[in-house]
């Protein structure tokens, strides 16, 4: 795997972590909670090398 | 547990269920193997990575089948599924692979040229993950791929794709399109390594003719045709005229543009001694203004919106209630390839390529595509290859 591709996986993992962190921090707004998780889906699929 | 965490747990479970359900389908599609039963003509099977080392162990590596005749003659390389969402190509290649007997010369077939693209999908366009061809022994299942290689194999895309070696600026997504990365390079991007592998086959094996099989929209002018550069155009023209006169179907000739780089019909001719030909058959499934992108649309090409557009003369091919069934598309490809070989052999008798036992247009239309495929369950396990 080329170095630049590995770096992109690192960036994806960082963004996925941030989304999860924001989901945990959110206390009241259910819409925002759901949005964080929906946006998280493609990052998880990419990190698992599924899509 | 607080109310907040009850809600969060429910949301997490829903998202995990969505990821699991969709992820499993996508994972199975990427790893689904298509069995290929080579016919009596196949003499050798190698991997493309033997010609382009960087492909070894990657999803871009693919099988290369050699069918060598008893007598020496010319050589032809047939590439299918350069774009894996144009399935008439692989169906044609498999008819040759499972039935052809080469009397003179050598036929080299790469049935899944862009292997990575064949393991990619286009969910935004609602592509089916698979399609099935009916045979006398049941149905044969194929992966429905995409035009471009999977980002899992080549990522990230650049902002602008700079073609090698001409430095022409192309769309970023074409870095994953194996009909924009010709002639490729040994240490380039993965898709450049794929096309480089094919160039090496042509150089090492001294291939006379390269045939790249495709499908194109009915609303796109470069459809139902043979695309050829200057050096191939005489043979293409003779082929076009002959199939029209003898077999009754239209297949005009389009000149390969010299200013548009990266295409097989341009770069193969410019960077090797091989004569390239790119075949296009109409593929209504790829047109934008159609109904749902179903397996039926893929196989029979019937669509009410295209029919309406046809009546307004907006299509570049004849179109009626019968659509453009797969049999017609595959039959055309079979006849055009056989005729290209005949025309080449007439001009170069010392490099004759003689192939028998391959059906022509009328045979495929009459018998159906599946009639020509063998049952992998009945074949010896060692004789079945997976792609």
B56-108 residue pLDDT tens? 999 999 999 999 999 999 999 999 999 999 999 999 999 999 999 999 999 99
Spatial distance between the Cα atoms of B277 and B343, rounded to a whole number of angstroms: 13
- Cα-Cα-Cα-Cα torsion B157, B162, B163, B168, nearest 10 degrees, comes to 140
Q: Which of B10, B156, B190 is the best residue to mutate to test the A interface, defined by the most A CB atoms within 10 Å of its own CB?
A: B156
List C-alpha distances in Å: B169 to B160, B162, B297: 7, 5, 35
Of the candidates A34, A46, A51, the beta carbon closest to that of B11 is on A34
CB contact under 8 A, A51 and B156: no
Spatial distance between the Cα atoms of B12 and A41, rounded to a whole number of angstroms: 11
The answer to whether the peptide bond before residue A34 is cis (omega within 30 degrees of 0) is no
What the block records as the tokens of A28 is: 């009241």
pLDDT over threshold 90, residue B123: no
Within 10 angstroms of residue A35's Cβ, the number of other Cβ atoms is 15
pLDDT confidence of residue B281 = 98
pLDDT confidence of residue B124 = 84
Q: What is the ipTM of this complex?
A: 0.94
Residue B380 three-state SS = coil
pLDDT confidence of residue B1 = 77
Within 10 angstroms of residue B373's Cβ, the number of other Cβ atoms is 23
pLDDT over threshold 80, residue B235: yes
pLDDT over threshold 90, residue B223: yes
Q: What is the pLDDT of residues B18-59, one digit of tens each?
A: 999 999 999 999 999 999 999 989 999 999 999 999 999 999
Residue B52 three-state SS = coil
Which of chain B's residues have a Cβ under 8 Å away from the Cβ of A4?
A: 156
- Of B174, B166, B125, the residue nearest B298 (C-alpha): B125
List C-alpha distances in Å: B243 to B88, B158, B251, B252, B340: 18, 43, 8, 10, 10
**Relative orientation angle of helices B326-347 and B233-247, to the nearest 10 degrees:** 130
Stretch B201-225: mean pLDDT: 97
Which of chain B's residues have a Cβ under 8 Å away from the Cβ of A49?
A: 152
Stretch B188-212: mean pLDDT: 98
What the block records as the tokens of B248 is: 């009754």
Cβ proximity of B144 and B121 under 8 Å? yes
Within 10 angstroms of residue A47's Cβ, the number of other Cβ atoms is 13
pLDDT over threshold 90, residue B387: no
For B24, the closest chain A residue by CA position comes to: A50
For A26, the closest chain B residue by CA position comes to: B4
Of the candidates B15, B121, B152, the beta carbon closest to that of A41 is on B15
- Of B144, B89, B88, the residue nearest B113 (C-alpha): B89
Strand pairing of B252-255 and B354-356? unpaired
Fold entry, domain B32-386: Aminopeptidase (3.40.630)
Spatial CB neighbours of B189, under 8 Å, sequence gap ≥ 6: B154, B175, B181
CB contact under 8 A, B26 and A34: no
Q: How far is A28 from chain B (nearest CA, A)?
A: 7
pLDDT over threshold 80, residue A1: no
* pLDDT band per the 50, 70, 90 thresholds, residue B382: confident
Mean pLDDT of chain B: 97
Phi-psi label, residue B357: left if phi above 0, alpha if psi -120 to 50, beta otherwise: left
- Of B382, B384, B338, B387, the residue nearest B360 (C-alpha): B338
Residues forming beta bridges with residue B255, ordered by sequence position: B228
Spatial CB neighbours of B343, under 8 Å, sequence gap ≥ 6: B235, B238, B239, B242
Stretch A1-10: mean pLDDT: 93
- Structure pTM? 0.96
Within 10 angstroms of residue A14's Cβ, the number of other Cβ atoms is 11
pLDDT confidence of residue A2 = 86
- Hey, where are the domains in chain B? 32-386
CB contact under 8 A, B8 and A23: yes
Cβ proximity of B77 and B202 under 8 Å? yes
Which of chain B's residues have a Cβ under 8 Å away from the Cβ of A51?
A: 22-23, 26, 121, 152
Spatial CB neighbours of B94, under 8 Å, sequence gap ≥ 6: B36, B111, B372, B373
Spatial distance between the Cα atoms of B104 and A51, rounded to a whole number of angstroms: 45
Q: What is the pLDDT of residues B355-366, one digit of tens each?
A: 999 999 999 999
pLDDT over threshold 90, residue B173: yes
Spatial CB neighbours of B217, under 8 Å, sequence gap ≥ 6: B223, B282, B283, B284, B286, B287, B288
Spatial distance between the Cα atoms of B279 and B262, rounded to a whole number of angstroms: 16
Residues of B in CB contact (< 8 Å) with A are 4, 7-8, 11-12, 15, 18-19, 22-23, 26-27, 30, 121, 151-152, 155-156
- Cα-Cα-Cα-Cα torsion B255, B261, B262, B263, nearest 10 degrees, comes to -10
- Hey, where are the domains in chain A? 3-47
% of chain B with per-residue pLDDT over 70: 100
Stretch B259-267: mean pLDDT: 97
Spatial distance between the Cα atoms of B325 and B234, rounded to a whole number of angstroms: 29
């Amino acid at each position: 795997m080329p170095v630049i591709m590995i770096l992109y996986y690192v960036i994806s993992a960082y963004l996925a972590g941030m989304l999860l962190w924001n989901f945990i921090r959110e206390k009241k707004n259910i819409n925002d909670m759901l949005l964080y998780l929906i946006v998280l889906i493609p990052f998880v699929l990419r990190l698992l090398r599924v899509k | 547990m607080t109310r907040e965490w009850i809600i969060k747990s429910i949301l997490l479970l829903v998202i995990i269920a969505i990821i699991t359900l969709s992820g499993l389908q996508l994972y199975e599609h990427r790893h689904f193997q298509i069995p290929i039963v080579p016919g009596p003509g196949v003499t050798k099977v190698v991997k493309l990575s033997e010609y382009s080392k960087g492909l070894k162990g990657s999803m871009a590596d693919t099988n290369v089948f050699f069918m060598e005749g008893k007598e020496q003659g010319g050589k032809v390389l047939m590439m299918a599924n350069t774009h894996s969402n144009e399935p008439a190509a692989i169906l044609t290649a498999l008819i040759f692979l499972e039935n052809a007997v080469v009397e003179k010369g050598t036929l080299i077939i790469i049935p899944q040229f862009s292997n990575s693209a064949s393991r990619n999908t286009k969910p935004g366009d609602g592509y089916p993950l698979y399609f099935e061809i009916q045979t006398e022994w049941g149905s044969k299942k194929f992966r429905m791929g995409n035009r471009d290689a999977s980002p899992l194999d080549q990522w990230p895309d650049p902002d602008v794709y700079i073609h090698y070696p001409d430095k022409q600026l192309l769309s970023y997504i074409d870095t994953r399109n194996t009909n924009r990365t010709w002639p490729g390079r040994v240490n380039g991007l993965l898709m450049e390594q794929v096309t480089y592998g094919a160039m090496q086959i042509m150089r090492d094996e001294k291939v006379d003719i390269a045939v790249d099989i495709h499908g194109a929209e009915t609303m796109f002018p470069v459809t139902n045709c043979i695309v050829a550069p200057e050096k191939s155009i005489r043979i293409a023209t003779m082929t076009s005229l002959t199939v029209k006169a003898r077999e009754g179907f239209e297949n005009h000739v389009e000149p390969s543009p010299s200013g548009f780089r990266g295409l097989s019909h341009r770069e193969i001719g410019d960077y090797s001694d091989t004569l390239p030909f790119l075949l296009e058959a109409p593929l209504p499934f790829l047109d934008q203004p159609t109904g749902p992108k179903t397996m039926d649309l893929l196989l029979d090409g019937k669509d009410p919106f295209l029919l309406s557009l046809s009546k307004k003369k907006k299509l570049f091919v004849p179109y009626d209630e019968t659509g453009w069934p797969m049999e017609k598309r595959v039959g055309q490809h079979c006849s055009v390839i056989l005729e290209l070989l005949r025309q080449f052999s007439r001009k170069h008798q010392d490099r004759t390529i003689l192939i028998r036992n391959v059906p022509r247009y009328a045979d495929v239309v009459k018998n159906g595509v599946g009639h020509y495929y063998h049952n992998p369950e009945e074949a010896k396990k060692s004789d079945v290859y997976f792609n």
